[in-house]
């Protein structure tokens, strides 16, 4: 019996980019102590008040089938949040609740791409992007960016691959690079999308984690609201990664069809999780700021440590919970460096190659452990790189 081409080609080369992470987890399971700087998982878990709201909703009986597009109050709250932050009038009918941002990425590509269509994405990309696109039977095509540009995509590079494509996926603030796309970058992206009749899928799950500059949603640019689908999530802004509550913002007709897809796939998000998400959003900006603050501190720690040595370079981290480090002076690939660092010092980081060719020779470091431990691990990483690069350590 054969499986479908669609499912066997989600990862056609057999690699999903998570080998170092999985190796680290095997080491931990065997009793080895490993400093994990791999995935975007908050070291401070979901706030107790949110969990209390979730518990109250569940014990209060909101455990049956919930409204598939999302409970009206939560859709209203997200619409109000988007309107306030972007200036684009947004109503309940523009919002669909999904089981996390990952489900939203799959749903948006299913909505706009037919089998065999080209779906563009910016390289470096989040590790799930290619497999997500292939799972919809579309064909992912990566658009390279450059470290010397701070990994800001160039409009001309997008335009060179846009002819005949159906969609473009972007992510700002960016995972893995930490780039926050500038107004100039987004204007160029919008121009290419309009000229080539592309759907723009904008992954904005890190919109609450901006350390320099400003986050601009491309949906707010002229002519873009009708061709942009925005992916959002409670995972990063409210440390609710395991709760799996995300959303899609888009034109009413698209949201209506996406609700049909939800009926056929997930059948919605549990009501008690939606109630807890509504509680979290209603807690206001103070909670989001408190959750984001550790990453702002650790970015400053990283800047100080990396800034006083020569073996490792740091891509300007303008947002998100990661720093992208240039280790090309060692002569090693990101994969070689990450495996060697894990083997010799039990520090786990993600190879840049897990996120595309443009990040080769880099590693992504998640700022997701306590400040002192984070600083010590980064010091050791820089010392390890200096030993390989044969440059003096500060």
Question: Where is the domain boundary, 261, 283, 305?
Answer: 283
pLDDT of 391 reads 60
Task: Report, as an integer, the average pLDDT of 367-371.
Answer: 97
Which range of residues forms the domain containing residue 27?
5-45+286-386
- Same-domain check for residues 194 and 309: no
The per-residue pLDDT for range 118-147, each reduced to its tens digit, is 999 999 999 999 999 999 999 999 999 999
The model's pLDDT over 154-179, given as tens digits with 9 standing for 90+, comes to 999 999 999 999 999 999 999 999 99
Residues 296 and 236 both lie in one domain: no
Q: Judge whether 50 lies within some domain.
A: no
Q: At which of 225, 260, 283 does a domain end?
A: 283
On whether residue 275 sits in a domain, the answer given is: yes
Rounded distance between C-alpha atoms, residue 90 and residue 92, angstroms: 7
Task: Tell me how far apart the alpha carbons of residues 335 and 333 are, in angstroms, rounded to a whole number.
Answer: 5
Same domain (yes/no): 240, 313: no
380 pLDDT above the threshold of 90: yes
Number of domains in the chain: 2
CA angle 69, 72, 75 (to 5 degrees): 70
> Could you give the C-alpha distances from 68 to 94, 270, 334, in angstroms and in order?
14, 9, 42
On the question of pLDDT at 299 being above 80, the answer is yes
Q: CA angle 9-37-325, nearest 5°?
A: 85
This prediction's pTM: 0.96
**Which tens digits make up the pLDDT trace of 57-104?**
999 999 999 999 999 999 999 999 999 999 999 999 999 999 999 999
| One domain for residues 75 and 214 | yes
Q: For position 18, what pLDDT does the model report?
A: 87
Q: Does 216 reside within a domain?
A: yes
Average pLDDT over residues 295-317: 97
Residue 3 has pLDDT above 90, yes or no: yes
The 3-class SS string of the chain reads: CCCCHHHHCCCCCCCCCCHHHHHHHHHHHCCCCCEEECCCCCCCCCCHHHHHHHHHHHHCCCCCCCCCCCCHHHHHHHHHHHHHHHCCCCCHHHEEEECHHHHHHHHHHHHHCCCCCEEEEEECCCCCHHHHHHHCCCEEEEEECCHHHCCCCCHHHHHHHHCCCCEEEEECCCCCCCCCCCHHHHHHHHHHHHHCCCEEEEECCCCCCECCCCCCCHHHCCCCHHHEEEEEEHHHHCCCHHHCCEEEECCHHHHHHHHHHHHHCCCCCCHHHHHHHHHHHHCCHHHHHHHHHHHHHHHHHHHHHHHCCCCCEECCCCECCEEEEECHHHCCCHHHHHHHHHHHHCEEEEEHHHHCHHHCCEEEEECCCCHHHHHHHHHHHHHHHHHHHCCCCC
* Claim to verify: residue 123 and residue 37 sit in the same structural domain: no
Same domain, 175 and 85: yes
Backbone angles phi, psi at 324, to 5 degrees: -105, 120
Tokens of 163: 């002819």
What pLDDT is attached to residue 45?
Answer: 94
Answer yes or no: do 296 and 343 share one domain. Answer: yes
Give the domain-ending residue among 251, 283, 315. Answer: 283
Per-residue pLDDT reduced to its tens digit, 181-240: 999 999 999 999 999 999 999 999 999 999 999 999 999 999 999 999 999 999 999 999
At 141-153, the pLDDT tens digits run 999 999 999 999 9
Residue 17 has pLDDT above 80, yes or no: no
Q: Is residue 152 part of a domain?
A: yes
Q: Are residues 22 and 112 in the same domain?
A: no
Question: What pLDDT is recorded for position 187?
Answer: 98
**Confidence tier at 12 by pLDDT (50, 70, 90):** confident
Residue 9 within any structural domain of the chain: yes
Q: How far apart are CA 95 and CA 260, in angstroms?
A: 13
In a domain, 112, yes or no: yes
* 46, pLDDT greater than 80: yes
């Amino acid at each position: 019996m054969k499986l479908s081409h669609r499912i066997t080609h989600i990862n056609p080369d057999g690699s999903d980019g998570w080998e170092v992470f999985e190796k680290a987890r095997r080491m931990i399971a065997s009793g080895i102590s490993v400093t994990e700087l791999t995935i975007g998982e908050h070291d401070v878990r979901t706030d107790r008040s949110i969990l209390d709201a979730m518990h109250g909703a569940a014990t209060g009986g909101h455990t049956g089938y919930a409204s598939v597009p999302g409970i009206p109050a939560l859709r209203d709250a997200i619409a109000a949040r988007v309107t306030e932050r972007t200036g684009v009038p947004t109503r309940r009918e523009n919002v669909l609740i999904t089981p996390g941002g990952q489900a939203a990425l799959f749903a948006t590509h299913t909505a706009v791409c037919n089998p065999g269509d080209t779906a563009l994405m910016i390289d470096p990309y989040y590790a799930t992007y290619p497999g997500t696109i292939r799972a919809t039977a579309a064909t992912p095509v990566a658009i390279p960016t450059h470290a010397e540009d701070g990994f800001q995509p160039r409009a001309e590079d997008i335009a060179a691959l846009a002819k005949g494509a159906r969609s473009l996926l972007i992510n700002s603030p960016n995972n893995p690079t930490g780039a926050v796309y500038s107004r100039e970058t987004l204007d160029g992206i919008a121009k290419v999308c309009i000229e080539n009749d592309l759907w723009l899928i904008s992954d904005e799950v890190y919109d609450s984690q901006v350390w320099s500059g400003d986050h601009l949603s491309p949906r707010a640019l002229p002519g873009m609201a009708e061709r942009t689908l925005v992916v959002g999530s409670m995972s990063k802004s409210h440390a609710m990664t395991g709760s799996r509550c995300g959303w899609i913002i888009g034109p009413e007709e698209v949201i209506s069809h996406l609700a049909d897809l939800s009926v056929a796939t997930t059948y919605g998000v549990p009501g008690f999780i939606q109630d807890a998400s509504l509680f979290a959003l209603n807690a206001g900006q103070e909670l989001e700021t408190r959750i984001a603050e550790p990453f702002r501190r650790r970015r400053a720690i990283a800047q100080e440590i990396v800034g006083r040595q020569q073996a490792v370079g740091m891509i300007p981290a303008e947002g998100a919970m990661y720093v992208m480090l240039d280790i090309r002076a060692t002569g090693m690939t990101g994969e070689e460096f990450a495996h060697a660092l894990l083997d010799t010092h039990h520090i786990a980081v993600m190879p840049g190659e897990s996120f595309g060719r443009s990040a080769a020779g880099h590693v992504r470091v998640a700022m997701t452990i306590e400040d002192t431990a984070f600083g010590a691990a980064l010091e050791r990483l820089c010392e390890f790189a200096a030993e390989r690069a044969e440059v003096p350590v500060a």
